[in-house]
């Protein structure tokens, strides 16, 4: 059983709850290793199509790296898949939804930025405060934030470590929806349900192509790119099921193959 998180399966959806509320769900080496295993299993499980990640308690999503452990001489260690098991997980084609229930600081915000959708409680607060403690946002924050909201707004956060509310995060563009705190998990599940209405291989192909296309030298190069997920989708049974269901005026029965 996981020690530093809780997991719950509900049909095709896996909910992962970071579970160190006594330290605002900050993560240390052992927690990072555990979460890497949890998300490895999610990525490999054909029965799971979407994951939601959130934090235990009402105060924090994740306060980032556990600096008290680091200050006491503890090892700063990430798994190959990065902080929280997700910030370097560049090959996962399945959608990840962050349900941000409170403080998302440092590595916690970097987990958020690594997710595909961000649903925020109206109590959520975001920041990359690493420069304030002699560090830097090295789990992807330095590079993801400018790509997601533009250089100048990102520099305004990166160079000051200032805190941003859920509402400002929505205005900046890294939050998809802000909801009342009590409605947070239900809202994240609603987004997951909308994803599950779509063909899973189409969703994965779309995610892969969209992210890979960002590395192309031009829009035309991205459009002309060859993407493994697209090829898999075109060969799938679901590629035939979708048009058939439309013609027969019924809901499609997705198989994920």
Check residue 68 and give its pLDDT. Answer: 75
With 0.85 as the threshold, say if the pTM is over it: yes
Work out the pLDDT band at 245, boundaries 50, 70, 90: very high
Superfamily of domain 5-196: 2-enoyl-CoA Hydratase; Chain A, domain 1 (3.90.226.10)
Known catalytic residues? 110, 130
pLDDT at 77: 66
Instruction: Tell me the DSSP string of the chain.
Output: --SSEEEEEETTEEEEEE--GGGTT-B-HHHHHHHHHHHHHHHH-TT--EEEEEESSSSEEE--B-HHHHHTT-----BTTBGGGTTT-TT--S-EEEEE-SEEETHHHHHHHHSSEEEEETT-EEE--GGGGT---TTTHHHHHHHHH-HHHHHHHHTT---EEHHHHHHHTS-SEEE-GGGHHHHHHHHHHHHHTS-HHHHHHHHHHHHHHTTSSSHHHHHH---HHHHHHHTSHHHHHHHHHHHTTS-------
Flag whether pLDDT at 71 surpasses 90.
no
């Amino acid at each position: 059983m996981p020690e530093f998180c809780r997991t719950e399966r509900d049909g095709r959806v896996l909910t992962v709850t970071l579970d160190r509320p006594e330290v605002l769900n900050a993560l240390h080496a052992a927690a990072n290793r555990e979460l890497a295993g949890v998300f490895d299993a999610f990525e490999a499980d054909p029965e799971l199509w979407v994951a939601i990640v959130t934090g235990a308690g009402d105060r924090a999503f994740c306060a980032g790296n556990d600096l008290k452990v680091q200050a006491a001489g503890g090892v700063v260690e990430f798994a190959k898949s990065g902080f929280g098991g997700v910030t370097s997980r560049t090959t996962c084609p399945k959608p990840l939804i962050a349900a941000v229930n409170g403080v998302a600081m440092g590595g916690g915000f970097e987990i958020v930025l690594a997710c595909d959708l961000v649903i925020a409680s109206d109590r959520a607060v975001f920041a990359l405060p690493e420069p304030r403690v002699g560090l830097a946002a090295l789990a992807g924050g330095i590079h993801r934030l400018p790509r997601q909201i533009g250089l100048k707004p990102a520099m305004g956060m990166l160079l000051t470590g200032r805190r941003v509310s859920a509402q400002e995060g929505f205005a900046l563009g890294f939050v998809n929806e802000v909801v009342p705190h009590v409605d947070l998990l239900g809202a994240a599940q609603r987004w997951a349900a909308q994803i599950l209405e779509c063909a899973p291989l189409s969703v994965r192909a779309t995610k892969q192509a969209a992210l890979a296309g960002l590395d192309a030298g031009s829009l035309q190069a991205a459009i002309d790119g060859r993407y493994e997920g697209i090829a898999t989708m075109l060969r799938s049974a679901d590629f035939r099921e979708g048009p058939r269901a439309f013609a027969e005026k019924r809901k499609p029965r997705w198989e994920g193959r």
